[in-house]
């Protein structure tokens, strides 16, 4: 991907941005609340870490030996690790978990325990995705493998005609790519793009990636192969199954928020200038789902770390996700007042159907209307 920087307007929609910030600030001030994690978030953090690593401790101590029970343990780990990724790690790397940068750094570093590099994630997600959402030559979240087409300005190949069918399987492989090749290829690409400061920064990042890979494979594969009373091939199968569940869940959460028919895929002019400001750009390129207060909606919000409120997250990444359901009505009302779209796909299944529809359209038309 050839990286291109864009400059958003500072004059367009300035009153909307000012009003929105003022109203959200007023909400926290009126309720005497911090923008960061509260007691509920701390309890959630303890729970997801226990869910992610507790089953491994149980298996390594030989408490569970039944093959089906072992598979269940690895599946539980997948759910816990995905929840760490969407909730704790994600908030911490955005600096929204705590006002203390040390706590954010420690909790953000949990991504390394999940097999991926925190530094590479920061560049791909915080720097590129959040800055240039849905812009095909800058946002790496919509630049997957060549057999997936997420943007109308990407080259369309014959195989893309079927991507709405096979994409879901590839989503399940996404975290397996993170723990094997993706961090290394990203490291060299970011160096060439100038997104790493200097040669020393690159060497430090490479050393960090290598060390954490050894740590990850050591506790997640070597120890189980030694201590869990199961054939080696079964443990490898359980390991792959865990990552398939985790990769599928994480990919669906992120892709259904951006690659759907209603969200825009904007392009800047030849000089890289955008007509709208950054906040409006986020509203145009992002959609929420499953915002209902019923049990199903609350469960989705819990598991996704509030990323079903993706609009609020993109507008206020410095606010802990535990507060998104409360500030969402403020954001929606302000957007409607200024006649700016506020996209909501409906339920989780509605969002999945929207994403599938967009994949199908992108696979059959060179530049579909979005």
Question: What's the whole-number average pLDDT of the chain?
Answer: 92
Q: What DSSP string runs through 278-337?
A: HHHHHHHH-EE----SSHHHHHHHHHTTTGGGHHHHHH-TTS-GGGHHHHHHHHHHHHHH
The yes-or-no verdict on residue 2 having pLDDT over 60 is no
Token pair 């309720």 is at which residue? 31
CB 160 within 8 A of CB 362: yes
Residue 310, pLDDT score: 96
Lowest mean pLDDT among 2-16, 23-37, 86-100, 178-192: 2-16
pLDDT of res. 1: 52
Cβ distance 66 to 228 under 8 Å? Answer: no
Sorted by sequence, the CB contacts under 8 Å of residue 253 that are 6+ apart come out as: 86, 304, 307, 308
3-state secondary structure of 7: strand
pLDDT band at 185 (very low <50, low <70, confident <90, very high): very high
- CA 334 to the chain's CA centroid: 26
Q: Convert the pLDDT of each residue in 213-264 to its tens digit.
A: 999 999 999 999 999 999 999 999 999 999 999 999 999 999 999 999 999 9
- The interaxial angle of helices 199-217 and 183-192, nearest 10 deg, is 170
For residue range 277-336, list pLDDT tens digits in order.
Answer: 999 999 999 999 988 767 678 899 999 999 999 999 999 999 999 999 999 999 999 999
pTM of the model: 0.91
Which among 195-204, 208-217, 261-270 has the top mean pLDDT?
208-217
Q: How far is it, in rounded angstroms, from Cα 1 to Cα 189?
A: 9
Residue 339: burial class (beta carbons within 10 Å; 0-12, 13-18, 19+): exposed
Give the DSSP letter string of 221-280: IIHHHHHSSS-HHHHHHHHHHHHHHHHHHHHHHHHTTTSSSSS------TT-B-SS-HHH
**Domain ranges, ordered by start, for the chain:** 11-370
User: In this structure, are residues 77 and 242 in contact, taking their beta carbons and an 8 Å threshold?
Assistant: yes
């Amino acid at each position: 991907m050839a990286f291109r920087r864009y400059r958003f307007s500072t004059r367009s929609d300035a009153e909307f941005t000012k009003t929105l910030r003022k109203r959200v600030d007023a909400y926290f001030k009126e309720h005497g609340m911090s923008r960061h994690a509260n007691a509920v978030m701390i309890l959630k953090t303890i729970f997801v870490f226990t869910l992610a690593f507790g089953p491994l401790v149980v298996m390594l101590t030989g408490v569970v030996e039944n093959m089906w029970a072992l598979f269940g343990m690895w599946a539980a780990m997948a759910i816990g690790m995905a929840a760490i990724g969407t909730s704790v790690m994600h908030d911490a790397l955005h600096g929204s978990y705590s006002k203390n940068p040390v706590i954010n750094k420690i909790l953000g570093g949990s991504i390394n325990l999940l097999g991926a590099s925190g530094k590479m994630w920061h560049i791909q997600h915080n720097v590129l995705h959040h800055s240039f959402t849905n812009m095909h030559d800058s946002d790496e979240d919509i630049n997957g493998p060549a057999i997936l087409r997420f943007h109308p300005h990407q080259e369309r190949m014959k195989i893309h005609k079927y991507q709405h069918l096979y994409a879901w399987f590839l989503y399940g492989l996404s975290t397996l790519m993170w723990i094997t090749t993706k961090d290394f290829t990203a490291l060299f690409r970011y160096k060439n793009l100038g997104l790493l400061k200097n040669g020393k920064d690159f060497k430090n990042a490479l050393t960090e990636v290598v060390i954490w890979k050894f740590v990850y494979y050591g506790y997640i594969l070597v120890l189980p192969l030694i201590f869990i009373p199961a054939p080696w091939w079964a443990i490898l199968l359980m390991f792959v199954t865990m990552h398939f569940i985790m990769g599928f869940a994480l990919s669906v959460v992120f892709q259904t928020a951006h690659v759907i028919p209603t969200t825009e895929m904007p392009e800047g002019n030849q000089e890289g200038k955008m007509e709208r400001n950054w906040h409006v750009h986020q509203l145009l390129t992002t959609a929420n789902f499953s915002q209902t207060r019923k049990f199903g909606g609350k469960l989705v919000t819990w598991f996704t770390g509030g990323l079903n409120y993706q609009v609020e997250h993109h507008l206020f990444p410095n606010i802990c996700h535990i507060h998104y359901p409360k500030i969402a009505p403020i954001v929606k009302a302000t957007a409607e007042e200024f006649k700016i779209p506020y996209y909501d796909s409906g339920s989780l299944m509605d969002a999945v159907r929207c994403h599938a529809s967009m994949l199908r359209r992108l696979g059959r038309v060179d530049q579909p209307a979005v």
